[in-house]
Each structure stands twice: as C-alpha cells, then as structure tokens.
Amino acid sequence: MCTRILWNTNDLATLSGRSMDWPESTDPLIVASPSGRSRNGGDLAGTNVVGDNPLRWISRYATLVTSVYGLGGIDGFNEKGLAAHGLYLQSTDFGPRDTSKPGLHGGLWVQYLLDQAATVAEAVALMADVDVVMVSARGHQATLHVALEDSSGDSAIIEFVDGKQVVHHGREFTLMTNDPTYDEQLELLSKQDFSQPDRNMPLPGNVNPVDRFQRAAYYSALLPTPENERQAVAAVMAVMRNVSVPFGAPYGEFGVYNTEYRTVSDLTNRVYYFELTTSPNTIWVEFDGLNLAPGGDPVAVDPYDWTMIGDVTTRFSAAHVTF
C-alpha cells in the first residue's frame, strides 16, 4: 500500500511525493548507481526467474533510488529528471510469459525504466518491447503498478489488468494509490470534485487506498504558491504525511499496512528527500554532489543509520548491491 502525488503546476520546481506502506521493513537503501552498469532482467539472487530470453541492458543514465529487499529500485529518479515509483496493486495480472519479448522481472521494472529512459514518453515507449514477469520476495508477490513523471511535468501510470498493459499518459494524472485499478479510482474521484476545496467539504478520513486517493486530491488542491524551493518541498511532504498510515493500524483489522517511509523528489533541482517514519530526522541527497563516474560502482547510505540527518550527500560509500 502506498500513495504518490505529483505537483507540476507551480513555477519553481516539479515535485513528486510517495509513501511506502508495507507490513515489515523493506530493508531500504538509498543507492546511487552510475551509467554503464550491466543488468539482467531475469536474475533474482542468482536464479533465472523469467525463463528463456531474459532482458539484458547496460544503463544509459545514472540513478538515485530507494531499493526494496535488495531487488532493485522501487522509488527514485535519474540524471535526466525522470522519476518512477512502484506501488502495490493487488489485482495486477502480467499475463502468461511471452518469450518472444525479453523478460523483465517485476522487481527490476522501476530500475529498468530509470536506467534507460530520459522522459516519460521514452519510458512508456520502452514498455512495448519487454514482457514484465511476476516475482516473489519474502513471501510477497511484486503485484506492482508504476507511476512516472519527468522534470517537464509529464506523467504516466502503467498497470497490467487481465494480462494487458494499460497506460494513462498525461500531465493530469497526478495522483495514485493502490486498489482498485486506476480507471476505477478516476471514476470514484469524478463523483466528488476536490479541485475547489473548502472547509465545509466532507473529506474521507480512513486509511484505505480509495480514501487516501481522495484525501490526496483535496490536499493537493490546497497547495499554496511557494515562495521558494524549501516551501515547495515542505508542502509536498505535508500532503504525504496526511495520506500516510499511522502506526497502530494492523493489517488484520484494517487491511492496510503502516507507512515505513516517505520521499519527495525534486526533479528540477535533482534533490531527493527521505523521511523514515520511525526517525525524527529528514535526510536529503543532492544528486549533483555525488561522484558517479560512468562504469563505476554503486554507492549507498542506510536510512536506518540513526546518525543520518539533513544533507547526507557526502555520507555515501561503497556498498554490496546485487542489482
């Protein structure tokens, strides 16, 4: 369970926010990878999980991502200002394996798009030539849909429904949570206009994805014109806190997961903000301050290191990354 919003209507920066809601720690690392890195879309911990014709590529762009279970990036952006976010969608159905297309396991889906595309349009086009394959990690299936945005403010949502790819491409697709499918979420949103919010408007307050979607629409519409980048980032983070799932909402009773962390991607200034919900500290990374020579090794920081606070760009160090 997660939420993503995009703020592409202010004059200072294109900003996106996401929350990661999950029943356990995803063992996140914030990983910076240079261009020129070889990857295998069928390899999962040394095992080929896609069968014949796995997708192989060499990354065109440097990336800054938060990893999930060591499989690959689940959230982040690349040097060109393209961001991608993988969110849970229970009804995901990638369909049967089509070996005529190179196979890409779901854990590397976000990473592949960030490695190879500079814009949303390029990322959407890439999807015509690959076959995404379901993968499991720690007992959880990668039933994902992906949100994309770039520094121009373009946006897309990609889902797989009944074995077929469904794409919503356009600047207007700024919100995303989980189930139901995006078509259904847009239909639910159309029943109440949140574009002109006021203090008397009834606001869904539950923690399920439908209520979070509507709440994200309401608070996004309230965002004031920022005077500077700091205000803009704080505004997006405030919305993400409003749509987070607080501790104490057990899955067994509510059918949702608590929020592990929140991020904000500033795609104009290439800064990545990260807030672990069990830490009082917000940290950030200035992409341009990283040393990412093409063909080099990835570097990382561990957000669970409680000494991390503020700008951690200089805290990156060599890390054993398997993707």
Q: Give me the active site residues, please.
A: 2
C-beta separation of 124 from 78 below 8 A:
no
DSSP, collapsed to helix, strand or coil, labels residue 283 as strand
Among 190, 160, 197, 199, CA closest to 172: 190
Q: How far, in Å, CA of 131 to CA of 128, rounded? A: 8
What token pair was written down for 245? 């799932």
CB atoms within 10 A of CB 97: 16
Q: Which amino acid is at 319?
A: A
DSSP, collapsed to helix, strand or coil, labels residue 103 as strand
Alpha helices in 106-228 (DSSP H): 109-116, 120-126, 182-190, 209-221
**Site of tokens 């911990």:** 45
Give per-residue burial for 255-284: e unless 16+ CB within 10 Å, then b: ebbbbbbbbbbbbbbbbbbbbbbebeebbb
Strand partners, 285: 272
